[in-house]
Structure 1
Amino acid sequence: MKGAKSTSKRAEPKLSVKKGAAAATKGRKPTKKAAKDPNKPKRPASAFFVFMEDFRKQFNKENPNNKAVSAVGKAAGEKWKSMTEADKAPFVAKAEKRKIEYEKNMKAYNKRQADGPAAEEDGSEKSMSEVNDEEEGDEDGSGEEDDDE
């Protein structure tokens, strides 16, 4: 009986995974995740992460043998919590500047998207072909213009 129980335990997870996968797709249309636009501006860092940029450098100088990322994060979190609002002010100000810049970039990005993303794609493909043509001409030592004449 012990052998029967152990084989049933092994078989059950495999069956449950198959059932779960089949049940998850059954009745639903498969959806594809939209591709992320590489031209979209990145979100700005919060005040804590602006603080972390400086703290990480300082911490690594003081503790050169430390290889754990978690130790840096824990130490930074403890220091951030112990800081007063006046101590945090420069980091908050930097974060606000980055946020304002991000919002400006996002407005410009959204305007470009609304004006016509198709026009940008056509232009970029055209420029890529021009770049490729130039590279091909450079490799030969003779340009394509000589072939046309």
Structure 2
Amino acid sequence: MLEEGAKPEFDIEEHDKLLGTTEIPSIFSVNRLSVKKGAPKKRTAKHRKKPKRPPGAFFVFMEDFRVQHKQKHPDNKSIATFAKAAGEKWKSMSDAEKAPYVEEVKKRKADYEKNMRAYKKRRAEESQDEREDESDKSGSEVNDEDEDDDSGKEVENDD
């Protein structure tokens, strides 16, 4: 709180004089607080059965390192400490030491690509089935219903 007679750091009246307006100062303007306008970002719906992309070599290494780190430091619950230790270990490893993890990534990537081809094939078949279902519902069904109403039944008008 300010003491009596003390001048605030920001003088609203002086700000108004500089701007030449008696309206609400720009620092309190609704425009600054409003949400940014524009087209909302479109999010693509993720299909639940879509295969997940394979992890990189570092993350495959992390799977093994996590087990080793827990054995050495069972009381450590800090993710930051674990991540820092894993990063330092990965940086200090030679290419020959990283090779098994790179090979594992290649295997996982091949499996992913195989699963992705099968997934795309299933999706294409599903969309083809949907298109066939839609094409079965032709306009003739609507016309058939209209013909049934006109054939032999007269509609009474209550005028």
Normalised-by-shorter TM-score class? 0.5 to 0.7
Larger radius of gyration: 2
Tell me, yes or no, if structure 1 residue 116 matches structure 2 residue 126: yes
Where do 1:1-149 residues align within 5 Å?
2=8, 5=11, 11-12=28-29, 15-18=31-34, 21=35, 23-25=36-38, 28=39, 30=40, 32-117=42-127, 119=129
Task: Give the number of the structure with larger relative contact order, counting CA–CA contacts within 8 Å between residues 6 or more apart.
Answer: 1
SS in 2 for 1:110: helix
Structure number with the higher helix fraction is: 1
Of all paired residues, the percent bearing the same amino acid is 46
TM-score, length-normalised on structure 2?
Answer: 0.61
Task: Provide the aligned C-alpha RMSD in A.
Answer: 2.7
d(CA) in 2 for partners of 1:39, 1:118: 18
d(CA) in 1 for partners of 2:129, 2:119: 14
For these two proteins, the number of residue pairs brought into alignment is 113
Hey, which bits of structure 1, 4+ residues long, moved more than 4 A? 3-10
- Larger deviation: 91-100 or 107-116? 107-116
CA gap 1:8/1:61 in 2 versus in 1, 3 angstroms: farther
d(CA) in 1 for partners of 2:90, 2:107: 20
Structure 2 unmatched ranges of 5 or more: 1-6, 13-23, 131-159
Q: Cα offset for 1:84?
A: 1.1
